[in-house]
Amino acid sequence: MGRGIRKKGLYVMKLGNKPKDQICLTTIDENSTLWHRRLGHANMRLIQSLAFKELVRNIPKLKFDQHFCDACKIGKQAHASHKAKNVVLTTRCLELLHMDLFGPSTVRSNEGNRYTLVIVDDYSRYTWTRFLKDKTKAFDQFKIFSRKIQNQLGCSIVSIRTDHGREFDNEVKFREFCNANSITHNFSASRTPQSNGMVERKNRTLQEMNKTMLNEKSLPQKFWCNDVDTSTYILNRIFIRSILGKTPYELLRGRKPMLYYFRVFGSKCFILNTKYYLTKFDPKSYEGVFLDEEEAIKVIKKKNIENDIVDETLEIDEIVTLRNLGTIH
């Protein structure tokens, strides 16, 4: 219902003023908003740089203007930070790794994990995350990781930098492993997280993306590991390394990343039913929720979301609903 006055045989309606944030949302290119969400609510300027500098493949050259995003404000708003130093101190990947542990999470993941080991390569800024049920397992995870990544890249780890956490400083096995493999273990200044700022900032970014994406889709917090996995996967393909002007993925793998298969975390999807013996009346797909971008696309059957039943598949059809913009298939 509206009110108006009659003027020269016509009714002039008084519609009132529309809130500015709604006007903003209705005028934004729906594709740019979709890509903003697909890429873990990354900064619009960053996405535009990726597209126009052709640092990744399969992303459209759209106008990615800064806009008001409720989920970003809820998950990311903070005090202003100090400027980073744009200096490249290393010459190759694995020359220096920054490591830190964040946790414990107040909610155990669907696999029972409470801690996250974050490893950042100094040269490329490529990030790896490993999940732990207990912080004493940090050494075991690093031991497996170091052998695997050195075998994949064909080069050795020269040094690592950590804080004085007990999982790093007081672990005898950690020191023995570093000595046996000629790895120099450096420590940041005590009670000064700024001296290990690179991985601390990465921790903060991952946690902000985690809160933003979980809150946007109102998913149970036990799926935080899947969220952090997806956030890490996204960051490695969209973060631009200062001075070198390339993404971490390209610096580590030697090729530009492709983004055409990215999907919005937590979006509704339909999973192809791959049972060998389908009857004539069996459904060809079932409804699920998209959970993970890494390696295989991980989805969970919606009807079993409380039972922690996770399937892995490559056959999904994403449905994303954008507020004030309709539905995109």
pLDDT digits (tens, 9 = 90+) for 109-146: 988 999 999 999 999 999 999 999 998 899 999 999 99
Whether 21 shows a pLDDT value over 60: the answer reads no
Whether 149 shows a pLDDT value over 80: the answer reads yes
Higher pLDDT: 34 or 249? It is 249
**Strand-strand pairing, 159-162 and 96-102:** parallel
Q: Model's pTM, two decimal places? A: 0.73
CATH architecture of 96-253: 2-Layer Sandwich (3.30)
Angle formed by the axes of helices 172-180 and 138-153, to 10°?
20
Cβ-proximal residues to 231 (8 Å cutoff; 6+ apart), any chain: 40, 205, 206, 209, 210, 213
Higher pLDDT: 250 or 59? It is 250
The lowest-confidence range among 8-22, 55-69, 235-249 is 8-22
Computed over every residue of the chain, the mean pLDDT equals 80
CA Rg, the chain, in Å?
Answer: 23
pLDDT band at 311 (very low <50, low <70, confident <90, very high): low
Type of residue numbered 241? R
Task: Kindly give the residue spans of alpha helices, DSSP state H, lying in 189-278.
Answer: 197-217, 224-238, 248-253
- Provide the 3-class DSSP secondary structure of residue 294: coil
Name the residue ranges covered by the structural domains of the chain. Answer: 16-76, 96-253, 268-328
Cβ-proximal residues to 170 (8 Å cutoff; 6+ apart), any chain: none
Whether 26 shows a pLDDT value over 50: the answer reads no
Q: What is the DSSP letter of 241?
A: B
pLDDT of 287: 80
Phi, psi of 238 (to 5 degrees): -125, -20
User: What count of other Cβ atoms lies within 10 Å of the Cβ of residue 46?
Assistant: 14
Angle formed by the axes of helices 224-238 and 197-217, to 10°?
120
Whether 304 shows a pLDDT value over 80: the answer reads no
Using alpha carbons, select from 319, 97, 321 the residue that is nearest to residue 198: 97
Whether 319 shows a pLDDT value over 50: the answer reads yes
For the chain, percent of residues with pLDDT exceeding 90: 34
- Own/partner pairs for 212-216, CB < 8 Å, 24+ apart? 212/40, 212/41, 212/71, 212/72, 212/74, 212/75, 212/76, 213/40, 213/41, 213/71, 213/75, 213/265, 213/266, 214/266, 215/71, 215/74, 215/75, 216/37, 216/41, 216/71, 216/266
